[in-house]
Structure 1
Amino acid sequence: MKNEIQQALEALNNGGLILYPTDTVWGIGCDATNPEAVKKVYELKQREDSKALICLVSDIRMLEKFIFEVPEVAYQLIEATDKPTTIIYDKPINIADNLIAPDRTLAVRVASDEFCQRMIRQFKRPLVSTSANISGRPTPQSYSEINPEILKGVDYVVNLHRDKKCNKPSTIIKIGNNGVFKIIRK
């Protein structure tokens, strides 16, 4: 795992894209603070940049560095949930502008996968995490289902968990700074 983290970090630090197993599905990732890297993700996925992408952070402390105000209910939700849950927050800060949704929100998940946590902790910045598919096509359930275009379009492919069937995508909940929340995807 240590070698895989080092290889991935090298690509990320050079503004590159990685393909990696997450706590949900195989993901395309990049430095969430680097607008040029984020642009490459949109291009590879052939996705409109008005459609927001999810970010992963290693822990609550990192979340607090990139969201102006984390609502109290979000802390409770993160602690209580036993499945991967992405929360859409108001007022992201210190993040690439082209990653922020038109309504000035950002979708963030605290990673539960050990590899992701360790890699992101060492990277010291959030990581874009979007499914490893061309926009509009099905999300691959395993490494073997990933489109060759995606494989060729990244700078590094993590060599872990390639035989694992992926879980379904995370639950997505939008929480406003007023505490009001809405389930977007179960």
Structure 2
Amino acid sequence: MLRDEVANAFKVLQDGGIILYPTDTIWGIGCDATNTEAIKKIFRLKQRDEAKSMVILVDTENKLESYVQEVNPLAYDLIEYAENPLTLVMPGAKNLSPAVIAADGSVAIRVSNHEFCKQLIQRLRKPLVSTSANISGKPSPQYFSQIDQEIIDGVDYVVDLEQHSKEIRNPSTIMKLAPDGSFEFIRR
């Protein structure tokens, strides 16, 4: 089942599509983080201002250096010891669509510990956009049954995993990490 869902989602992403999928936090809408056209589809579906950047997922912390020019060594400790999923906002984004890079050149990046996400990212060999499965301004759904039909109908593929789970999941903690090692919480 997992293998089939990874294969199905991979095909959609390869073709420039967008998917609705479970993550280690809340359900997300995603696409290839290097495909600007696919990212624009997500902005349209969410009715979100394109000036707001989105989180990207990688499968291992080793990939941080592929998408951030200079990773502060503290980032690895923060990821290793975080009790909850942690998104780090770091300057110097590279090798990504400009649509996921903030105006200040930073990127919000999280190492996913979710098996589906890890396998899909490994197969895609690129990071995955991960933005909450809601229309901008509406509450983020805590599980699949809370996702608006408009979102479900608006994606190219809905991953058939964990749809009946009622486990309450919360968005990740977001921390902005500066090159000098100073940091601030954006969302706890």
Partner of 1:185 in structure 2? 187
Deviation at 1:142, TM superposition (A): 1.3
1:87 & 1:26 partners in 2: Cα distance?
A: 19
Match of 1:105 in 2: 106
For normalisation by structure 1, the TM-score amounts to 0.98
Deviation at 1:98, TM superposition (A): 1.4
Aligned to 1:131: 132
Alignment of 1:24-173 (within 5 A): 24-164=25-165, 165-173=167-175
CA shift, 1:122, in A, is: 1.1
Q: Deviations over 1:107-164 (max 9, x none)?
A: 0000011111111111110000000000000111111111111111111100000112
Query: Residue 143 of structure 2 contacts residue 169 of structure 2 at CA under 8 Å; is this kept in 1?
Result: no
5+ residue gaps, structure 2: none
1:2 counterpart = 2:6: no
**How many matched pairs?**
186
The CA distance in 2 between the partners of 1:15 and 1:138, in whole Å, is: 27
CA offsets, 1:22-71, max 9 Å, x none?
00000000000011111111010000011111000000122211111110
Please state whether the residue corresponding to 2:89 is helix, strand or coil.
strand
1:58 and 1:110 in contact (8 A); partners too: yes
Q: Runs of 5+ in structure 1 lacking a partner?
A: none
Question: More displaced, 72-81 or 16-25?
Answer: 72-81
Following superposition, the deviation at residue 79 of structure 1 comes to 1.0
* 8 A Cα contact 1:33 1:94, kept in partner: yes
- In percent, how many aligned pairs have the same letter? 47
After the TM superposition, which segments of 4 or more aligned residues of structure 1 sit over 6 Å from their partners?
Answer: none
RMSD: 0.8
CA contact (8 A) 2:30 2:131 kept: yes
Shift of 1:82: 2.4
Q: Which amino acid aligns with 1:12?
A: L
**Equivalents in 1 of 2:30, 2:43: separation in Å?**
11
